[in-house]
Structure 1
Amino acid sequence: MAFDPSTLRRDDYGFFGPDSPSWKVWAAPTALIGFQRAVTLEHFDPFLTAAVADSHGIYDNPATRLDHTLSYFLLVALGDGRTAVQAAEHLMKVHAPMTGIEPISGKRYSANNPDAQLWIHITGWHSVLKAYEMYGPGPLSHDEEDRYWAECAIAAELQTCKPADVPRTRAEVHAYFERVRPQLCVSERAIEGMHYLLWTPPSKGWHFAVGSRLLSLATIPTLPLWMRRLGRFALPRAVDPAVRIPARAIAWTSARRDNWALIKAAPYIAPMTGEILAAHRAATPVADPATITPAQARQRYGDQGTVRAEHATA
């Protein structure tokens, strides 16, 4: 997925705009912790584990694969309508051939399946907010949080998620997690994937290996104990409070001058992510300083040939 920084916001403010909690949370340096949390959590869904394992993307080139995935979330949260809808359609095309048989159940999986896409979407938005609350400025105000989850539901319109299934409040998000919990499990491939993301081997680049390990010290304490035990990556409980102060200090330092330190480090870890954050920081004027809806963006800029049909239910 190529990205031209000058096109991040050429037309409008996208779906949310400068005063939105989505801009605040997704542009914070804590989003890196939240993202590692999200891609780890994805492996508790056996169908997504099968898709990830069969495609082998995170094992062949984890830095590029994860950079592109985080970039997608950032483009939807921070980009204009044209950028967001084109990124979403590109992602669906990439996911379209990712189908196969999930070995635990023997059922068919599809990376574009609505349930799988909803799990990816909710764990992403929830994890980034969780990291922001723990290591960033703290909880959003009540009104901001209500708006954040409303914006999360708007962003879900770009994926194959069924609108009626998308939670729109913190309580509905918690109810969603309770509803899907009986379907979650781990396998050898799931544990391998989670551990690979938390502790990427040095053979994939020392900078990325070191970065994943440092992030994991902050990521793991954000997870409930049952997930840590199930995933076999439970750190001693003493690590939780011990890591919070230095993690908050690093996040605060990185946030100074609008992510200057993070942007400078990005070429060595996540180049496209860095370009997006740099373009966001530049705050160039837009043609129309207003927000639009995903439906409007799709009508104006969408590719009518994009595959949007119903996918096999896992």
Structure 2
Amino acid sequence: MVWKVWGYPSASTVGFQRAVVVEPLDPPLVAALDGTQDLYNRPATRYDRTLRYFAMVAFGGSRDVCKVADILVKVHSKAIGKLPYGEGTYDANDPESQLWTHLVAWHSILYVYEKYGPGKLPAAEEAEYWESCAVAAELQTCSPDDVPRTREGVRGYFAAMRPKLQASPIALRAMQHLLHTEMVVPPEMSWWARPLALAAAKSLRVATLAAMPRWMREMAGLRQSRVSDVLIVPVMQVAFAVMHRRPQLQLNLMGALTPNTLKVIAPVKLGIAARTEEVLTPAEARERYGYARPAEAHVEWRERQAARVFGEGGAASDDGLIESQEVLGQLG
């Protein structure tokens, strides 16, 4: 079910954009995003690298997925500091922040699949989807025990989170920024293809806003007419259906906009068989390849990062970010 839903063209486009636009409403998470400024300093590569991570979790081999989950703990160790609004601190490795990110992504991917794709999954398939969501949570610092296994449970989680969400100035800035997909259109794109790419980016913005709850849009000051909400649905349904039937169209688009992610998704879309047809649980894979659970990984490294930031008042090390280029792609 993960390959069925995440492999549909809506996942890597509107689904992913909806997820990253909604995420900044969580105060600790947006503080981590704003603290590094990577979102603004290198938007195209950050977009591609983040999408590549989610694609690897959905489609990648067990060794590569264990490796990227492990290195991501070191990457996130840089995103720590004091909350800009109110008391307390933020840490991108915090289990609650990771659970929010995880569920927003998995919910968004399924939601847009239903809205702009084939429609609602049968009950048994949806149950399998949410069970897989819990398995994927083992690749982050959050506990799979905290992941709801039903649509009602997911709704309950978001209802409990709603009072905690804030449309702070840094959240609004991040959300507006992430809605402009044209930022990932490479400047060297051919003169004839660039207008098409920019038009597609604007369509994605309309589709993403139409897929967000109206209360959330009002909270963030993201305005769009109800007419646009309605008219964009058949447009995206037709576009995604065509791309689904002709996988090369989707791969061509990804090759231009998110080349690192293309390398992960292309083998699945093209039906290329795995070199080794074997299924491992995250625990089995970690044991085989020698990795710790993300919640327990790089404890000393994280303590040194915290000492630099909170003890010495300095900046956290970028070494984890630099090291991540091997598995997530170049920084810029």
What TM-score do the two structures reach when normalised by structure 1? 0.87
Q: 259, 267, 282: which one pairs with 1:294? A: 282
1:118 to 99, 108, 114: 99
| Change over 3 Å in CA distance of 1:169–1:204 after alignment to 2 | same
Flag the 1:27–1:210 CA change in 2: closer, same or farther, 3 A: same
Residue 29 (structure 1) aligned to one of 9, 34, 48: 9
Q: Which amino acid aligns with 2:64?
A: T
> How has the CA–CA distance of structure 1 residues 44 and 220 changed in structure 2, closer, same or farther, with 3 Å as cutoff?
same
For 1:81 and 1:262, how far apart are their aligned partners in 2?
A: 25
Identity of aligned residues (%): 39
* 1:277-292 alignment runs, 5 A limit: 277-292=265-280
State the partner residue of 2:315: none
Q: Which residue of 1 aligns with 2:237?
A: 248
Q: Which amino acid in 1 is paired with 2:254?
A: A
CA distance in 2, matches of 1:75, 1:234: 34
Deviation at 1:203, TM superposition (A): 9.8
Equivalent in the alignment of 1:307: 298
Which among 48, 53, 57 is matched to residue 38 of structure 2? 57
Task: Give the one of 146, 167, 186 matched to 1:165.
Answer: 146
Task: Provide Cα deviations, 1:255-294, integer angstroms capped at 9, x if missing partner.
Answer: 123x211111223211112222212224333354232101
In the other structure, the counterpart of 1:104 is 85
State the AA in 1 paired with 2:216: M
C-alpha contact (below 8 Å) 1:263/1:275 kept by paired residues: no
8 Å contact from structure 1 (residues 197, 212) kept in 2: no
Q: Is the 8 A contact 2:27 2:165 kept in 1?
A: yes
Which residue number corresponds to residue 222 of structure 1?
A: 211
1:269 to 239, 251, 257: 257
Q: Provide the rounded CA distance (Å) in 2 between the counterparts of 1:202 and 1:77.
A: 25
Paired AA for residue 115 in structure 1: E
**8 Å Cα contact 1:44/1:190 also seen in 2:** yes
> Is the CA contact 2:33–2:39 (under 8 Å) kept in the aligned structure 1?
yes
Deviations 1:188-216 (A, max 9, x none): 11101000010257697565765543211
Correspondence for 1:239: 228
- Distance in 1, Cα, partners of 2:44 & 2:167: 24
Aligned counterparts of 2:184 and 2:257: Cα–Cα separation in 1:
14
Q: Which residue of 1 aligns with 2:71?
A: 90
Match of 2:108 in 1: 127
Residue 142 (structure 1) aligns with: 123
On the 8 A contact 1:186/1:230 being kept in 2, the answer is: yes
In structure 1, how many angstroms separate the alpha carbons of the residues matched to 2:9 and 2:163? 33
Residues 165, 203 of structure 1: alpha-carbon distance in 2 compared, 3 angstrom cutoff? closer
TM-score of the two chains, using structure 2 as the length reference: 0.82
Deviation per residue, 1:211-252 (Å, 9 max, x gap): 543211111111111001111112011111100011111111
Aligned partner letter, 1:45? D
> What is the CA-CA distance between 1:48 and the residue it aligns to?
0.9
User: Is the 2:181–2:204 contact (alpha carbons within 8 Å) kept by the matching residues of 1?
Assistant: no
What amino acid does structure 1 have at the position aligned with 2:214?
L
Over 3 Å counting, the alpha-carbon distance change for 1:81 and 1:246 in structure 2 is same
The number of equivalent residue pairs is: 291
Decide whether the 8 Å contact of 1:51 with 1:99 is kept in 2.
yes
Match of 2:166 in 1: 185
After superposition, the Cα gap between the structure-2 partners of 1:308 and 1:120, relative to the gap in structure 1 and judged at 3 Å, is farther
- Secondary structure, counterpart of 1:139 in structure 2: coil
Matched residue of 2:53: which SS?
helix
Q: Check the 8 A contact 2:182/2:201 in 1, yes or no.
A: no
In the alignment, what sits opposite 2:310?
A: none
Relative to 1, partners in 2 of residues 1:212 and 1:59: Cα closer, same or farther, differing over 3 Å? Answer: farther
Q: Is the 8 A contact 1:85 1:302 kept in 2?
A: no
Q: Secondary structure at the match of 1:49?
A: helix
In our comparison, the structure showing a higher alpha carbon Rg is 2
SS of the residue 2:81 aligns to: strand
Contact 2:135 2:144 in 1 (8 A): no
Tell me the equivalent position of 1:67.
48
